[in-house]
Chains A and B, each alone.
Chain A
Amino acid sequence: MLANIIHFVLSAFLGSEILSKVPQTLHTPLMSGANAISGISIVGALVAAGMTESPWAQWLGFAALVMATINVVGGFLVTDRMLEMFVKKKKAPPAA
């Protein structure tokens, strides 16, 4: 428990340090990217889905897995779609 709390506190500091420097332009992709990372609960879902000794736990884990995968796959793809527009523009200056 103590190790967990230490991880939590350190990550909070690290997160605020890195993220407060993200420019306004990228706030929307940042939000959707961070959102996709929150789908890390997919790992938890996988662990729970593997608990074959309880059918209830399995089905709950399965539902969690589906939801988390939607979050992860959708989130990263949508962030990529947004960022692609920023990158493309950098390479091709306005064609008059």
Chain B
Amino acid sequence: MERALIDLAYVAAAILFILGLKRMQSPVTARVGNALAASGMLVAVVATLFLQEILSWPMIVSGLALGGAVGGWLSQRVEMTDMPELVAVFNGFGGGASALVAGAEVARYAQQASVLNAATVAGSDAFVIGLSILIGTVTFSGSFVAYGKLSGRLSGQPLTFPGMRGFTIGMLLVAGAALVQMTRGAGGLLVEGTGLAYPALALCLAALALGVLLVVPIGGADMPVVVSLLNSYSGLAATATGFVLNNTALIVSGTLVGAAGMILTVIMCDAMNRSLANVMLGGFGGDGDAPGAIDVPEGKTVQETSPDDTAILTSYAEQVIIVPGYGLAVAQAQHAVRELADLLQEQGITVKYAIHPVAGRMPGHMNVLLAEANVPYEQLYEMDEINPEFSTTDVALVIGANDVVNPAARTDEGSPIYGMPILNVDEAETVVVFKRSLSPGYSGVQNDLFFADNTKMLFGDAKETVSALVDEVKALQAA
């Protein structure tokens, strides 16, 4: 009876998750969707608490309170620009939790005093427990490395050392061997109850190393793909835990998360014209825009411009397209940009925003940042919608974007970003690039756009230069 009630509650939770995710299809219903998914979680937790024989109430209450306080604090404190890092951290905790649950199962089986011991564990169960430990732990350590890279605590440069591939393969072999040993250790093939515990520990250590080894060689530019892939893993880790505990709620919701992560991963890869294998092998990208010397490559010239010239240029335009990038977000210039757009529109100038799918540090990140600045939804255009319009546009303002506007992606077959779909800003009559220096972008590739005849560079911090531009436009209007 109790079992049936729990299962019913789990089905209800799964339905709430599905309905919640379905409402994510429109910005209008998304918030309700999120609340539905959260209430699904509540149903699942409450059902488990009340109907499963869980005895240690103080532990459960203090665990929930502690985790809730930490999670709540982190989520209220975070800046929208730092969202990808936080998602990576939460992801890591999710994976870690799954691995620990599987670990608890091992501890239970290994306990001689327990009713259950290794002899009574089926080989298939032991295998799934091992899988759960493996995926969960890889997600855990990988996510924290991704966090380090995104937050700048670790270098965004791809990191490798001699013999790394060999070491990685070695760790994979250790993990595989531990998994086999766990499966064999179950079912009474090995006499001692500890037949599971030691291989599980070895598996855990190998998986910790694997998570680090898999993410460290991947450059900053590919981190969004890694985060969404790890998100998918953390879902699959929950699925594996579901198989361990024979729990439908875990299987269904874990798989939904796995699918979400997988879909976003594929979308990101397509947007960068890179295969998943290519991303995982790593070595692409650097730390992004760093303040530095303005080095002009030989045989190329750069035209510098000033806020007042740009003000005149934009004030006499018919259509202005703003191309925001992560540089804008870091400088917190989104509010100044919105002010500029409002001013221009008051004068009857059409202003549109061109959003590249990989602008920012995770899929759709730029939309969130612009939403924060109350940029009207109707002014945002996706790449395929806006690209045909650049050729009839007077001014394109590129603010803190780099790789997504690099024409080399179209023309230079030798370039690592060749083939990546880009915003065709270079087709606009005039391009003004707001940037601190001529340094290459997140991908580490030099940008030919800076040296084009119709490009003018406006050097400086995006917030300062955009604010200066706003002042100049106001002065023009007053005159």
Contact = CB atoms under 8 A, between A and B. Distances in A.
Interface of A: 1, 3-4, 7-8, 11-12, 14-16, 18-54, 56-58, 60-90, 92-94, 96
Contacts of A49: 54, 56, 59-60, 63, 104
A19 B56 contact: no
24 contacts: A7-B248, A8-B251, A15-B258, A19-B21, A24-B363, A26-B27, A27-B362, A29-B34, A32-B83, A35-B91, A35-B94, A37-B235, A40-B13, A41-B94, A45-B100, A46-B54, A60-B101, A64-B101, A67-B100, A72-B71, A73-B67, A80-B31, A85-B371, A94-B342
Interface in B21-65: 21-22, 24-28, 30-31, 33-35, 37-38, 40-41, 44-45, 48-49, 52-56, 59-60, 63-64
B238 interface: yes
B261 interface: yes
Interface of B: 13-14, 17-18, 20-22, 24-28, 30-31, 33-35, 37-38, 40-41, 44-45, 48-49, 52-56, 59-60, 63-64, 66-68, 70-72, 74-76, 78, 80, 83, 86-87, 90-91, 93-94, 96-98, 100-101, 103-105, 107-108, 110-111, 113-115, 124, 227-228, 231, 234-235, 237-239, 241-264, 267, 342, 345-346, 355, 357, 360, 362-365, 367-368, 371-372, 374-377, 380, 382
Contacts, number: 392
Given A7-B251, A69-B71, A81-B75, A54 B114 contact: yes
Contact of A41 (B55, B71, B97): B97
A41 B237 contact: yes
B90 A44 contact: no
Given A43-B48, A50-B54, A86-B30, A25 B380 contact: yes
B166 to A, nearest CB: 32
B259 A11 contact: yes
Given A4-B242, A32-B87, A72 B41 contact: yes
Contacts of A48: 100-101, 104-105, 108
B377 A69 contact: no
A58 B24 contact: no
A66 B67 contact: yes
Given A25-B364, A50-B52, A54-B114, A44 B250 contact: yes
Given A35-B90, A36-B90, A52-B55, A76 B38 contact: yes
Given A33-B20, A36-B37, A36-B38, A53 B115 contact: yes
B114 A41 contact: no
Contacts of B38: 36, 76
B256 A69 contact: no
B243 A57 contact: no
Contact of A43 (B18, B27, B237, B247): B247
Contact of A4 (B13, B24, B78, B251): B251
B63 A77 contact: no
A94 B371 CA distance: 12
- Output the residue of A27, A46, A61, A75 with the most chain B CB within 10 A: A27
